[in-house]
Structure 1
Amino acid sequence: MPEPATVTTEQPFDVPAERRPRHVAVIMDGNGRWAQRRNLPRIEGHRRGVNSVRNTVEEAARLHLAQLTLFCLSSENWKRPQRELDFLMHLLEQYMIEERSTILKQNIVVSIIGRRDGIPAATLREMDETVRLSAANNGTRLCLAINYGSRGEIVDATRAIAQQVKDGLLSPEQIDEKTISDNLYTQNMPDPDLLIRTAGEMRISNFLLWQISYAELWVTERCWPEFEIADLHQAIRDFAGRDRRFGGLSQI
């Protein structure tokens, strides 16, 4: 696995804009493992992970990436202990409040994908307020996947399309890939070009299954609380050096 180089945000980035991914998606894994290795409660890993979120979001905006999507809470994560879930909801609410001014200052547009059921009303209120206040921005889009599962998303899209057919707005023969994309939570968003996963796990974990059909994968052994700007830079460098054929022949 690649090791990060020392870097500061003031240094110019050596990958030209046209070689950078338009959309980076991240599976932020390893918070609990990071904490347990240090004999700390799992929630301390989540707390430390917020720093990595902050740094990654700010660097994505500085690099003028079109979109950064972070997998914050999966629909399967509700199986975790209630104390940990309560803390995660508290962290999410706190993030929405404390980072709001920075989000607005950096011209970031916030959007949220996933189902709303199970999320406390206070947390939903702060999520909705940040989305509302940032809607007029036109910089990097920060998409947070919260209570998200790709299979559930596809089920919801299928139900929506079926209803359109039932209502006579669409015939079965008209259904194509664009129809499906237009009914996913991510409608009007570009598909990810680069998918980053931390903590060394080699699986997708029910994340953006439709959207990552041609995404480049980049995995690091570093847990999410250890993820630094240098890691993001290295992932983008590796992406820029790959030959993306999309099913065709190499141009090299």
Structure 2
Amino acid sequence: MNQRKINELVDDNYVYASVLYYFGIKFYDYSEKTLEQACTERGLNVKTVTKKLESAKTKEEAPLLLNQYPVDLIITYLQHAHYLFIKEKLPYIAQIIQGFNADHKDYNVIEKDLKFVFPLFVEDFIHHIYEEEDTLFYYIKTLDKFINENKGNISHVYYLMERSSLQRYAIEHEEHDDEMQGIRKITNGYSMDDKTPLHVKVIYEELKELEKSLVTHAHVENEILFPKALMLEKEAKNKFSQKVGFN
């Protein structure tokens, strides 16, 4: 592996590109260098880098059994996913798109469109994440503490329930479920063949994996979190009704 060129390694497994990126090796800047040469130029221990590359495999989503877990752990899982999107996945994809120099008649327009659209997608997506954590997740966690831990200011909980609506959140959430539709259109559904340039392959593979992650994320929210949250909301309403009845 040490004596193979960077472009050969990445062509074998596009995941290597992201591993090298976190070592400071942009695959397109070192494409004709061997791994050993690139590590030497970066002052890296080639054995350390090789070991990390050898442990890298094609990205796969782990099976999700989150429906068996309580609401607070599901939200923790989703918040961790948000962190990975913001701190790792999106910056890496943005970097390889920014470093994309098509110089190819079939991809010149795609290059310009991606460089324009992807930053807008990232900005909108991050705004959506922060808004979701500050409103939806906060509301659900408040309901969870009120019902399952008997904690929380009853007036505050009542105020949140009057102001919030899980049904409205669910409808708004569905509108964000296909956020990558425009990017799919630009890339013709991430269409690739044997003649597709390596840089394009890496970008498309990463975009495909991002979309798969977003689909999984949306599934957890729509099919697991929302039903549990609706049950909490129903229990909270019943609890308030009982208190009013007693009074």
Same fold (TM over 0.5): no
Q: Structure with the greater relative contact order (CA < 8 A, sep ≥ 6): 1 or 2?
A: 1
| Greater C-alpha Rg | 2
TM-score, normalization: structure 1?
A: 0.25
TM-score, normalization: structure 2?
A: 0.26
